Structure 1
Amino acid sequence: MSTLDRYILSAFLRIFGLVLVSLIGVILIVDFVEHIDAFVDQGLTPTLVVIYYFYNLPSFIDMSLPMSTLLATVFTLGTLNRNYEIAALKACGISLYRITRSLLWLGVFLTVFQFLFQNFLVMPFNHKNKQMAREYLKPVRTPTVLREVIRQDLNGNIVVFSQYFPKQNRGAEVAIYSFNDSTLQQRWDYVRMNWIDSLGVWEYKNGVQRTFSAGGEVAFEKLPEVGNVPLTLTPGDIEKEEIRPDEMNIFQLAKFIEKKRILGLNPRHWITDFHFKIAFIFTGFITIFLGISFALQGSRENLAPAVGKSIFALFIYYIFIMGGKKVGNSASFHPAYAVWAGNFILLFVGSFLFWRTSKR
């Protein structure tokens, strides 16, 4: 690494660390003020509050990274520009790309770091945090109905409840799938299933059985109007909380989506969430890329316009990516196109601004 790269990176990292710690502190204080009544009402001890924020810390860091990289880029290059160091480097024949190369590579590193950080630290800690919040901060309520509940029986069969009513221990539109490896062999569909507590069995009403042959033929059989379903699952197993899709990392979410597809369910919402998780990882690189141009345009003496433009650009990016997520959940566009549009637009704008800045 050259002396120039070390000089720019050291200046960047000093500002980045200061901004990151400051933003995390602000987020923590705001969150504490928002939840202090709940802490007091639920009688949480100081130890539990510390544990709660320990699980929140990776999420706070993840939230602060885009703004921290953006402001650190603007202040680092803006200061160098104000001190005429950028002008001196250009006078020596050093291009803008060479001056900012270390920051661009840092943006690539941040993208890889965010991918690993989000999937192996943020999401597991979020799951723990939400479990703790549900246990200590929110009153435990039995939901009226659970939708699209997917469970696996001890014999390996997949059981899907389109609707499950916990208070009545009753399922509606229930499907049971039997697989051999990844090949569907049999499927049972029941209009309704009720748990008979005295017998410890599930009773179905109005069921059909389908058997799938290797040649693609389907044998259809109507079952007796009432009968028992040989399941080892109990109502407690069905109501037992599993990791929720919005708390999964992208690897878990990909498996969840594939399971939904195999079972014939619509995974569009989670496909959108999958692309959103990946697209958001690139914010570190995008903010550095945009920050370079904003820092070196305009007045050397006043960085306020550059900071304002940068924050506005980040705000626009959030509108694009969050709006894309909403559009992706509808049937208007493919989820990937909707979510990734913001990234491509901002990268195009950043490339144009970088080219124009390099010509100055």
Structure 2
Amino acid sequence: MKLLQRYLLKLFIPTFVVAMLFFILLLQLGDLFANIVAYLQNGAQFKDIVKVMWLYIPKCIAYSVPLAILFAGSYTMGNLYAQNELTSIFSAGISLGRFTLPLLVLGFFFSVGMIFFEDNVVIKYFYEKTQLSKKLLQEEESLDTQDLVILSELGKIVYTADYFNAENQTLANAYIIVRDEDGNLSLVIKSSHMVWNEDRWTTDSAEVYRFDEKNSVSCLNNIPDNIILSEPPANFQKNLSSVDEMRISEAKEFIAALKKNGLPYYEALSKYHRRFSFPFTIFIVLFFSISLGGKFKKNILLMSILFSLGIATLFYVTEMVTMLSAKWEYISPLAGAWTPIFIFSILSIFLLKKSRT
């Protein structure tokens, strides 16, 4: 039995390596051809373009492993079926599940390992690749924001403004609502122009309305000294950060900051959960390749490629729909990330039970 399982791994692993290199090449060429014209127009040096491709390799590996495993599994099983080797194995009383157990164990360890690989390697290199690409493409994104609302100090202070200038660190047409410890309205500050001064927001002219316990209103010309508006400008500027470019610990802090400031966080939280769900596609696609690989009697190489691309397309479309639904808050972020895994797990197990054994 162990001899047969080693034979299966001997067939599977070389095919997997070649398939992974092939898919990495496709991803690299796709990224290069999409930007090569802009690189040349902006006078990018050859060594910089090569460096971009080098930094993109870990991300390509993360994308390629599920496809490569799906192809290698279906191609290996297809060849075994076509050459009647599996018929002999089944005749000896060895079940399909027992025979392919090493592949499933290998797929599980790949899935778990991919979580750590992405967190410790892919994130770092992909961030550097993104920054270098933007530099070569001469892409500049403004950090200014419009019509903003920021919650500060657990909702005790609410900032609203028509416009935030990131370069000058100023707020235009700002309204600031201050609540007391009991959540009652305490102050309303109105200013047409506020400036960040070292550690707080200041203004030369402001209309301040103070509310007492009886809801009586008094008007002031200046912000009281005991009111310190210390929300940093970084929380007002446009958010260009992406969870895809952060480690898990950094992503948790980033999402917590979004919640604290009252900003939309469903999309970021969905991507955070996806960091844990996506690697398990490796384990799932092995079920597909084992159960359906034997359906190909002719043109095994071509059919394995088409089968791999078809399953991958179906999975990514499903994932795109669920992630968009989570972003728009139709479903929870957890459901957005894990629903495709759940659906395809059930489908793969069903097909495995129906497969020849």
Distance in 2 (alpha carbons) for counterparts of 1:325 and 1:346: 16
Partner amino acid, structure 2, of 1:261: K
Partner amino acid, structure 1, of 2:335: Y
Distance in 1 (alpha carbons) for counterparts of 2:10 and 2:210: 68
Partner amino acid, structure 2, of 1:293: S
Structure 1 residue 159, shift from structure 2 partner:
10
* Partner SS for 2:329: coil
Residue 27 in 1 paired to residue 64 in 2? no
Partner amino acid, structure 2, of 1:288: L
* Partner SS for 1:281: helix
Equivalent pair of 1:74/1:291 in contact (CA under 8 Å): yes
What TM-score does the superposition give when structure 2 sets the normalisation length?
Answer: 0.79
Q: Which residue of 2 aligns with 1:286?
A: 284
CA displacement, residues 147-173 of structure 1 (integer Å, 9 cap, x when unaligned): 879999xxxxx9988762235632366
Partner amino acid, structure 1, of 2:49: V
Structure 1 residue 33, shift from structure 2 partner:
2.1
Aligned positions of 1:139-178 closer than 5 A: 139-145=139-145, 164-166=164-166, 169-171=169-171
Distance in 2 (alpha carbons) for counterparts of 1:174 and 1:291: 59
Distance in 2 (alpha carbons) for counterparts of 1:54 and 1:91: 49
Structure 1 residue 205, shift from structure 2 partner:
4.1
Q: Which residue of 2 aligns with 1:99?
A: 99
Structure 1 residue 340, shift from structure 2 partner:
1.7
Percent identity between matched residues is 22
Structure 1 residue 357, shift from structure 2 partner:
1.1
Q: Which residue of 2 aligns with 1:215?
A: none
* Partner SS for 1:64: helix
Partner amino acid, structure 1, of 2:256: E
CA displacement, residues 317-357 of structure 1 (integer Å, 9 cap, x when unaligned): 11111110011112322222233221111111111111111
* Partner SS for 2:164: strand
Aligned positions of 1:1-360 closer than 5 A: 2-145=2-145, 164-166=164-166, 169-171=169-171, 194-195=194-195, 202-203=202-203, 205=206, 224-227=220-223, 243-299=241-297, 302=300, 304-305=302-303, 307-358=305-356, 360=357
- The verdict on how the C-alpha distance between 1:327 and 1:106 changes in structure 2, with shifts beyond 3 A counting, is same
CA displacement, residues 218-261 of structure 1 (integer Å, 9 cap, x when unaligned): xxx98945448867898699769985434223332222222333
Equivalent pair of 2:150/2:262 in contact (CA under 8 Å): no
CA displacement, residues 33-67 of structure 1 (integer Å, 9 cap, x when unaligned): 22122222222222222222222111111121121
Distance in 1 (alpha carbons) for counterparts of 2:222 and 2:71: 67
User: What is the Cα-based RMSD across aligned positions, in Å?
Assistant: 4.1
CA displacement, residues 255-279 of structure 1 (integer Å, 9 cap, x when unaligned): 2222333444442221222222222
Which shows bigger deviation, 114-123 or 96-105? Answer: 114-123
- The verdict on how the C-alpha distance between 1:190 and 1:13 changes in structure 2, with shifts beyond 3 A counting, is farther
- The verdict on how the C-alpha distance between 1:188 and 1:94 changes in structure 2, with shifts beyond 3 A counting, is farther
* Partner SS for 1:93: coil
CA displacement, residues 271-330 of structure 1 (integer Å, 9 cap, x when unaligned): 222222222111111111111111123536756445534432222111111110011112
Structure 1 residue 140, shift from structure 2 partner:
2.9
Equivalent pair of 1:161/1:171 in contact (CA under 8 Å): no
Distance in 1 (alpha carbons) for counterparts of 2:175 and 2:126: 31
Distance in 1 (alpha carbons) for counterparts of 2:86 and 2:236: 63
Distance in 2 (alpha carbons) for counterparts of 1:239 and 1:336: 28
Partner amino acid, structure 1, of 2:259: R
Structure 1 residue 106, shift from structure 2 partner:
1.1
Equivalent pair of 1:294/1:306 in contact (CA under 8 Å): no
Equivalent pair of 1:82/1:301 in contact (CA under 8 Å): no
Number of aligned residue pairs: give it: 342
